[in-house]
Amino acid sequence: MTTTIKPKTAVGGVITVPGDKSISHRAVILGSISEGITQIHGFLRGEDNLATISCLRQLGVDFEEDVDNNILRVQGVGLRGLKPPKDVLFCGNSGTTMRLLCGLLAGQNFDSVLDGDPSLRKRPMERVATPLRLMGAEIATTGGNAPLKISGRPLVGIDYQMTIHSAQIKSAILLAGLYTKNKTKVTELKQGLTRNHTELMLANWQRLNGKIHICGDFSSAAFFVVLGLLLADAGLTIQNVGLNPTRTGLLTALKRMGGYIKTNITKTEGGEIVGNIFVKKSKLYPIALSGNQIPLMIDEIPIFTIAALFADGTTIISDAEELTVKETNRLQTITTELVKIGAKITADNQGMVIEGGHPISGATLDSHGDHRIAMSLAIAATNAQSPSIIQNANCADISFPDFYKTLAEL
Ligand code: S3P
């Protein structure tokens, strides 16, 4: 799909965004291996999450969808109830599906194969296979990548010191740890820098009593936070968004740039903080972003670069090498595309330099099949001086179905 984005002069109002992608993955995985029915409200029906459901169905789990009321019911099979899959488990574009299922499947008493689309087949998988092997897992990667062949076998708990900031690795080990007799311990490089949704959901599972309400995805709200800072004269409110502090590093960065952003917490559910975000058009100043600030906004760097384009002066991003192994090499893809609209931006394999404050013009742009690149480009194009065309725009459906509709309605 190709979409045309016309420049806007102002936006405003109150919006909501679809359910959190990371929490949705975890809710269906834990629901599948618990006893009885789990009722999930607000599950994200994005392509990545549908891939997780499809794999779990192949593992013998039944799902019932009430699309009108946005309720998904998972018929849990219990910790030992998963069945051997008859075919390859296809994870599509979803790194979270592949890495979390790798942890879940390592300790089963059957074998399985995980595969993905061409983008996922390029992403590093030894980072999950290595710690799982320390637990006794037998996992063969294909030159470090998918397809992954998992020979299910008994596992032992480990005391693991993480070497990369990654919630997916942490979660894979914790899921495998559910299948060991002894304790599994994961120590992060620094606590509180990677999303802790798995830990919170495990710790709160019993209290949730079979009912989970999934909040709006902060990473989806992020596109409209930046749009609001650029165009919302009277303000823009995004309601019911997850405000887990391991996710909201973008707000800290944008406030440092001078952004007018107010959050108010409305509830805490299952350990997850939820609230509303109010943003108003603001004059933005450049900042330097590095070190521990990066993991806290790991998925928001592409949209952050759009804010930086409109800040008067030079913004520098460093220590961001993890961005090179996402759905695309995001440092490169966002830079390649933004140059086409006249941005003064350069990238290497650990960061970017963005010289903001120059006017940008419309152009024909390409998402490279990366959902967060597509949506970041759409926000940039909304602020250009002439219309833009975005090719391969439909990949936004991976995490934010109706993104273009929400943008058009503002
Ligand atoms: C995710 C963790 C992050 C993030 C991804 C979702 C998760 O990946 O970039 O979009 O749900 O655990 P890493 O663990 O590779 O940093």
Q: Say how many Å lie between the CA of residue 129 and the centre of ligand 1.
A: 16
Alpha-carbon distance 30 to 174, whole Å? 12
- pLDDT at residue 178, rounded to an integer: 98
- pLDDT at residue 210, rounded to an integer: 97
| Contact call for residues 227 and 236 (beta carbons, < 8 A) | yes
Closest atom, ligand 1, to C-alpha of 164: 16
Return the DSSP state at 20. Answer: P
- pLDDT at residue 284, rounded to an integer: 98
Q: Is 167 in the pocket of ligand 1 (CB under 6 A)?
A: yes
Q: Say how many Å lie between the CA of residue 215 and the centre of ligand 1.
A: 17
Token code pair at residue 42: 């607000």
Q: Is 93 in the pocket of ligand 1 (CB under 6 A)?
A: no
Question: Which mean pLDDT values do the consecutive 10-residue runs of the chain (410 residues) have?
Answer: 96 98 98 98 97 98 94 98 98 98 98 98 98 98 98 98 97 98 96 97 96 98 98 98 98 98 97 98 98 98 98 98 98 98 98 96 98 98 98 98 96
pTM score: 0.98
Catalytic residue among 48, 217, 299, 397: 299
Q: Is 298 in the pocket of ligand 1 (CB under 6 A)?
A: yes
Q: Say how many Å lie between the CA of residue 171 and the centre of ligand 1.
A: 10
Q: Which of 21, 195, 398 to mutate to test the pocket of ligand 1 (most atoms within 8 A of CB)?
A: 195
200 phi and psi angles, rounded to 5 deg: -65, -40
- pLDDT at residue 265, rounded to an integer: 98
Q: Say how many Å lie between the CA of residue 12 and the centre of ligand 1.
A: 30
Q: Is 166 in the pocket of ligand 1 (CB under 6 A)?
A: yes
Q: Which of 22, 23, 119, 120 to mutate to test the pocket of ligand 1 (most atoms within 8 A of CB)?
A: 22
Alpha-carbon distance 174 to 141, whole Å? 20
CA 142 to the chain's CA centroid: 25
Alpha-carbon distance 388 to 220, whole Å? 21
Closest atom, ligand 1, to C-alpha of 325: 15
Closest atom, ligand 1, to C-alpha of 166: 14
List, in sequence order, the alpha helices (H) in 276-357: 301-309, 330-340
Q: Is 52 in the pocket of ligand 1 (CB under 6 A)?
A: no
- pLDDT at residue 200, rounded to an integer: 98
Q: Say how many Å lie between the CA of residue 393 and the centre of ligand 1.
A: 22
SS3 category, 4: strand
Q: Say how many Å lie between the CA of residue 62 and the centre of ligand 1.
A: 26
**299 catalytically annotated:** yes
Place of tokens 């390409």: 366
Q: Is 398 in the pocket of ligand 1 (CB under 6 A)?
A: no
The identity of residue 73, as a single letter, is R
Q: SS3 letters for 202-241?
A: HHHHHHHCCEEECCECHHHHHHHHHHHHHHCCCCEEEEEE
